[in-house]
Structure 1
Amino acid sequence: MRIRPAAATALLAAATLSASTLPASAHAADRTAPGSTTFSKVVVNGGKDIVLGLTTKKTVTITWTATDPDGVAASWAYLWHGPDTDDADGRLPGYPPAGTCAVSPTDRTTSTCKVSFGVDAARDFADNGLVGTWKVLGEAQDTNDDWTDVDVAGTTRFERYSKITVNASPEPVKAGRTITVTGSLTRANWERGTYTGYESRPVQLQFRKKGSSTYTTLKTVTSGGGGTLKTTTKARTDGYFRFLFAGTSTTGPATATGDFVDVR
């Protein structure tokens, strides 16, 4: 359900009070007509997905451009999740503040706006179902006190933070012998408050030769039960093995710290 911010309500009240001193003809103006404000260049978190662990706290910024033929008096933007605004199961921030807007010095009809707010994973994300696409609701009041609401002025994504580990053995090993590489892929489970295995996900096994700065992909393996990873490869030269997970639409990427193997 849409909730008009307190600042907007205060502005509306002030406008109503001012209108009470106007001639009767002025009261006949249509105050319920939809506004003409358009929203563009809506960017959340600098265009990057927002990845949250179990206790992540971060500041998220929304920037946008609001344009109205009569000029923009004030504008708001907030994030919501769900099938529609009436049945939203999440809204950030909980009580949206007005954006800070600056009128273009060359075009009085256009304002650039920004709002920043805190996101606390432990407080705001207790349900794994909140992962994925969130929409930006844009709202504006023009200088004639007409209001415009756009339910989906933009979008962003929230993802669950992932972790990946690696262990290559035996160490040291003779050239040509088999090396077993194991590890695990887990991700934040907001409902349980812990990291749980991420199964059936493709993960790359990579190798970096000693003295080099570049990793090469040797093969792709699939995470098993509980997110376990296990594969084998041949020992050829000294170097580092690591697992790399590219991420999904619900889970951020993860890269293990390389595990060095001495080949003799």
Structure 2
Amino acid sequence: MEKTTMGWAMRSTAVAAGAVAVFTGVTAVPAGAAEGGVSFSRVTVNSGKPIVIGTTKEVVVPASFRMTTKLKYDYGPTVFPYRGKPDSGDTLHSSVITSDCQVVDKAKGVCDFEEWLYIDPRYSDFGNAYAGTWKTAARVFLAGDAYDTDDKNLPLQVKRATTVTVNASPEPVAAGKTITVTGRVERANWDTHTYQGYGGRTVSLQFKASGASSYTTVKKTTSSSTGSLKTTVKATKPGTWRWTYYGNSTSGAKSSTGDYVAVK
């Protein structure tokens, strides 16, 4: 398989990498025409989970699908996120890798494919407006400059990454005394390619007692205009404290690391 770099493909039709067809075409297709002799099924992108993107790291999004056709094809196939119309709207990837055909039924022209979408937030035109709901389409470029595009109408959430920090003090603390837990929640700003304080967010303070296997929410608080978090609790037993933000339609969920406090 081969990786094809396409620059930033926010407003251009995509040509994905992949092997040539293993099946013999049965009809001629006019150059540039959209052909209907291809079907796509079993489409999944990122296992149905939101795509969460930060400010500096390229994100690799796994996908898989099945294609059925007996037409020859030159490029692809591929599935991709889009807004507007599949063939003329925005697409969301900087490059794509598509696996070779995994033959399911050669007589019927059925292949399974794996795919990896690369999304790089460092491109200058990658901005906050791209957070939210996208749809999913599938496309293959056929012999003779034709192509087939199927709108799978599969919703896909694209979210700005968040970060959360925590500090619990004093450490250690006497039983029954007050612990002050502070922290900060920030969100990726794709316009400036930095993280900024995320104000007005409801964030859960969670505790995991020594020997326990999971965290329990103790209370909730709202971040300040700069994203700062602060609250107090009574020390009853030793354990680990953390903040958890559960995200929203445009922002990813995130938990801080844990801060252990010994209680004497």
TM-score with structure 1 length normalisation?
0.76
Please say if residues 105 and 111 of structure 2, whose CA atoms lie closer than 8 Å, have aligned partners that are also in contact: no
Larger radius of gyration: 1
Tell me the amino acid that sits aligned with residue 89 of structure 2: A
Q: Which moved more, 1:226-235 or 1:101-110?
A: 101-110
Please say if residues 39 and 138 of structure 1, whose CA atoms lie closer than 8 Å, have aligned partners that are also in contact: yes
Q: Partner of 1:45 in structure 2?
A: 46
> Higher helix share goes to which structure?
1
Tell me the amino acid that sits aligned with residue 185 of structure 2: L
Please say if residues 161 and 187 of structure 2, whose CA atoms lie closer than 8 Å, have aligned partners that are also in contact: yes
Q: In the TM superposition, what whole-angstrom CA distance separates every residue of 1:202-238 from its partner, at most 9, and x where no partner exists?
A: 2111112223333221112222211111112111122
Please say if residues 30 and 144 of structure 2, whose CA atoms lie closer than 8 Å, have aligned partners that are also in contact: no
Number of residue-to-residue matches in the alignment: 246
Please say if residues 202 and 221 of structure 1, whose CA atoms lie closer than 8 Å, have aligned partners that are also in contact: yes
Please say if residues 168 and 179 of structure 1, whose CA atoms lie closer than 8 Å, have aligned partners that are also in contact: yes
Q: Partner of 2:244 in structure 1?
A: 244
Post-superposition offset of 1:186: 0.6
Q: 1:192 & 1:141 partners in 2: Cα distance? A: 36
Please say if residues 164 and 185 of structure 2, whose CA atoms lie closer than 8 Å, have aligned partners that are also in contact: yes
Q: Partner of 1:20 in structure 2?
A: none
Equivalent positions of 1:1-264 (< 5 A) are 3=13, 5=15, 34-68=35-69, 71-74=70-73, 75-85=76-86, 88-93=89-94, 100-105=100-105, 107-123=107-123, 126-140=126-140, 147-152=147-152, 154-264=154-264
Post-superposition offset of 1:51: 1.8
Q: 1:91 & 1:170 partners in 2: Cα distance? A: 47
> Unpaired segments of 5 or more residues in structure 1?
16-25
Change (3 A) 1:212 1:98: closer
Please say if residues 87 and 149 of structure 2, whose CA atoms lie closer than 8 Å, have aligned partners that are also in contact: no
Please say if residues 92 and 119 of structure 2, whose CA atoms lie closer than 8 Å, have aligned partners that are also in contact: no
Q: In the TM superposition, what whole-angstrom CA distance separates every residue of 1:124-160 from its partner, at most 9, and x where no partner exists?
A: 7630111223333212467999753223453433222
Please say if residues 66 and 72 of structure 1, whose CA atoms lie closer than 8 Å, have aligned partners that are also in contact: no
Please say if residues 135 and 154 of structure 1, whose CA atoms lie closer than 8 Å, have aligned partners that are also in contact: yes
Please, what is the CA RMSD of the aligned residues? 3.5
Change (3 A) 1:192 1:110: same
Q: In the TM superposition, what whole-angstrom CA distance separates every residue of 1:89-115 from its partner, at most 9, and x where no partner exists?
A: 444246x67763233236523222233
Q: 2:256 & 2:34 partners in 1: Cα distance? A: 57
Identity %: 35
Please say if residues 17 and 97 of structure 2, whose CA atoms lie closer than 8 Å, have aligned partners that are also in contact: yes
Q: Partner of 2:3 in structure 1?
A: none
Post-superposition offset of 1:249: 2.5
Please say if residues 167 and 182 of structure 2, whose CA atoms lie closer than 8 Å, have aligned partners that are also in contact: yes
Post-superposition offset of 1:42: 0.8
Change (3 A) 1:120 1:47: same
Post-superposition offset of 1:6: 8.8
Change (3 A) 1:153 1:77: farther
Which secondary structure does the structure 1 equivalent of 2:123 belong to? helix
Q: 1:201 & 1:135 partners in 2: Cα distance? A: 27
Please say if residues 160 and 252 of structure 1, whose CA atoms lie closer than 8 Å, have aligned partners that are also in contact: yes
Q: Partner of 1:23 in structure 2?
A: none
Tell me the amino acid that sits aligned with residue 209 of structure 1: A
Q: 1:86 & 1:242 partners in 2: Cα distance? A: 45
Please say if residues 90 and 130 of structure 1, whose CA atoms lie closer than 8 Å, have aligned partners that are also in contact: no
Q: Partner of 1:19 in structure 2?
A: none
